[in-house]
Amino acid sequence: MTMADFDLTQLPTRSPADCHKEATVRQTKKIRQELIELQDRLYAENRRSVLIILQGMDASGKDGLIRRVFSGINPQGVRVHSFKEPTEGELAHDFLWRIHQQTPARGMIQVFNRSQYEDVLITRVEHLIDDAEAQRRFEAINNFEQLLQEAGTTVLKFYLHVSEKEQRERLEERVTDPAKQWKYEAGDERKANQWPAYRDVYEDVFRHCSPESCPWHIVPADQNWYKAHVVAKTLRDALVAMDLQYPASKVKRWEDR
């Protein structure tokens, strides 16, 4: 499937049939152990960084995913930033101004819970920007991610792909499940009817902002255990590919004196 005829409804929202839950969960646990060591190397090396961008429709499980994947990792080397509705001060600048401030320093893993992509998603669904402005922003986002990559940041972009049916059920649970009622927000019913509108604007993002050098990963997200597995594995593979090395000791060994 090329990006031009990109169709989100053709992509799975659930694990492949031959994927067994228990074995996969065990594997994810093993991967998390690897992540702990890889993050330690990244931090020690202090030369490069990782930016993880998490996007997904409401109730696609971004918060749960962050907990599942990153809980075991040294919090000194991982920072999570959740982008909310922009403040008045943030709106007084270009849309990447507040984003740029949160990019990772060398040695760090930064997680964006929502990101610059909201500025070409909700803004389009709510008709706050027109198509021409969206095109300008796509280009600006591509340039911005290229800048980060050139400065040594590995950028990993994940779309948590939840089905319309699963989203509707999860939004309903926020009304009926006492443990989830705190998540309920006015407008959740409306959101449940916006799946097709968000599908359209997400597809446009994948068409324009998924260059080979910085592709989107579309993650089947109806099952929490599978989603966590895919993200953890993708992150592990990216860190392994970086060939992270502990730097040489600054302390001279006895025999070197």
Residues that bind a second copy (CB under 8 A): 89, 92-97, 100-101, 103, 105-107, 136, 140, 143-144, 146-148, 150-151, 153
Q: Which is nearer to a second copy, 14 or 98 (CB)?
A: 98
Q: Which is nearer to a second copy, 56 or 77 (CB)?
A: 77
What phi and psi, each to the nearest 5 degrees, are found at residue 49? Answer: -150, 170
Q: Are 158 and 227 in contact (CB under 8 A)?
A: no
| Shortest CB 49 distance to a second copy, Å | 8
| CA-to-CA dists, residue 27 to 38, 64, 224, 233, angstroms | 16, 18, 14, 9
In 177-247, alpha helices (H): 188-192, 195-208, 224-241
| Shortest CB 147 distance to a second copy, Å | 5
Q: Which is nearer to a second copy, 147 or 175 (CB)?
A: 147
| Shortest CB 152 distance to a second copy, Å | 8
Q: Which is nearer to a second copy, 8 or 140 (CB)?
A: 140
- Helices 224-241 and 62-70, packing angle to 10 deg: 50
End-to-end CA distance of the chain: 61
| Shortest CB 95 distance to a second copy, Å | 7
